[in-house]
Amino acid sequence: MSLFRRKSVTDLQTEAATDHSLKRALGPWNLTMLGIGAIIGTGIFVLTGTVAAQNSGPAVVLSFVAAGIASIFAALCYAEFASLVPMAGSAYTYGYATLGEFIAWIIGWDLILEYALGAVTVSIGWSGYVVSFLRDIGIEVPARFSAAHGSPVTLADGTTVTAIFNLPAVIIIAIVTALLVVGIKESANFNNVIVFVKLAVVLIFIVGAAHAINAANWHPFIPPQTVTDGVPVRGAFGWSGVLAGAGVVFFAYIGFDAVSTAAQEAKNPQKDMPVGIIGSLLICTVLYILVSGIATGVMSYTELNVPDPIAVVADRAGLGWISTGIKLGAIAGLSSVILVMLLAQSRIFYSMARDGLLPQWVNNVHPKFQTPWITSIVTGLAVAIPAGWFTVREAGSLVSIGTLLAFVIVSIGIFVLRVREPKLERPFKTPVYWLTAPLGALSALLLMSGLPWRTWERLIIWFVIGLLIYGVYGYRNSRLARRA
Ligand code: ALA
């Protein structure tokens, strides 16, 4: 059945060896940095506070552990695929080789949601820290232009206005898009500097705020589930809150898979991909557990529902001007996440267009900069609109659910390929794949189950649109279809 037509892994490996349209400029160091650049962001800087206040309490630490475990299973599967098929396109390309074109389209469409809306979510978090920093130095961003369309913003005098759109979020998207058009090498250098700043901020927070922990704030560690009119509220504290919180803070781990989308730009993908993916994920997991534990130890979780919780906690811990420094570092750090997300997004378009599932014009590589510049610009424009419009939680939950779905498919894909083509040379093998792959799929499904029905609904709408596009365009124009 042609819906399930597949690319062969051997063809893909030949394609990877002969396609020189993207520069192979990235080594293991740059790839790990790319991963950390994509991972640490709005999740830890903003969602830690929201989730502690609304879902998990101090047990936000457990939410981070649960989401981290699910990510590590999936990361092992991603690493095997990325070393096996070192091509641009990540899970989408892996899906094409294992589960067929239809599933590949689903993953590709899903990744568009992940990266494009991921950049949106982070640009909204960026805007929150920028507005707060500017206020510190005496500049007020007009409230109407500082938050999601229709959301209430309380002014200094206590009155409330309704926001029109989030202007700072749109501005950062425009700046990052321009950087991507100029080129991957320049962007990677820019990324390294910023990742360094971001790590410094996180470490300063950990070392500087730990002394102010008051263990009483950790009790009760898992606050009892909220009960309204005798009915327990799903996701509001208790174990169901820890699970719902894990689904939301899962956003904080998204990004290690972005490393795999740069496989075609890696100097030595077989060796460097697994190092970049797993290394960056492990470093971030440890940092998250420390940061969320300290944040909920310094302040009561009930006070953490603010747009800039890490800076607020630093302030409470008596770090004074360092808190302003933390805001600056967060601003720089969030910029690098947007960069990697948009980079990954344009690479997904690139891969899908190369396969004929999207129109060829998006596949145009710039003669001087050697970047897929048209896809970068199209993505930037498309992403700027929801960046001005959505709230951070709305956008973030949708990204989480979409990415978890990609994890499920990738984990299943690894299993299928091991069974179907056991002899392929695999430079990196997922350890005990028959256990790791099913656990990867199950843990991702469990986190998805904790997210609200509204998020599921939006995911379904996104896929209905995707299926229509595939039916009208991709099914007929795909390279495999034309070959047949
Ligand atoms: N993990 C990234 C963040 O938290 C997407 O911003």
- The Cα 20–Cα 217 span in angstroms is 56
State phi, psi for 358 to the nearest 5 degrees. Answer: -130, 160
Q: What percent of the chain has pLDDT over 70?
A: 90
pLDDT for the residue 336: 78
The full DSSP string for 53-90 is IIIIGGGHHHHHHHHHHHHHHHHHHHHHHHHHS--TTH
pTM for the whole thing?
A: 0.85
For residue 5, name the pLDDT band (cuts at 50, 70, 90): low
- The Cα 35–Cα 329 span in angstroms is 17
Q: Which of 63, 71, 122 to mutate to test the pocket of ligand 1 (most atoms within 8 A of CB)?
A: 122
| Closest to 49 in 3D by CA, of 292, 212, 223 | 292
Instruction: Answer yes or no: are the C-beta atoms of 136 and 330 closer than 8 Å.
Output: no
Q: Judge if the beta carbon of residue 202 lies within 6 A of ligand 1.
A: no
Q: Would the CA dihedral through 189, 118, 333, 69 be positive or negative?
A: negative
| Higher per-residue confidence, 267 vs 292 | 292
CA of 128 to the centre of ligand 1 (A): 15
pLDDT, tens digit, 9 for 90 and up, residues 245-282: 999 999 999 877 767 767 667 787 777 877 888 888 88
pLDDT for the residue 15: 66
Would you state the structure tokens that stand for residue 238, as one six-digit string? 């208790």
Q: Judge if the beta carbon of residue 291 lies within 6 A of ligand 1.
A: no
| Closest to 441 in 3D by CA, of 470, 416, 460 | 416
CA of 232 to the centre of ligand 1 (A): 31
- The Cα 42–Cα 274 span in angstroms is 25
Instruction: Go through 221-237 and write b for each residue having 16 or more CB atoms within 10 A of its CB, e for each that does not.
Output: eebeebeeeeeeeebbb
- The Cα 319–Cα 329 span in angstroms is 15
Q: Judge if the beta carbon of residue 356 lies within 6 A of ligand 1.
A: no
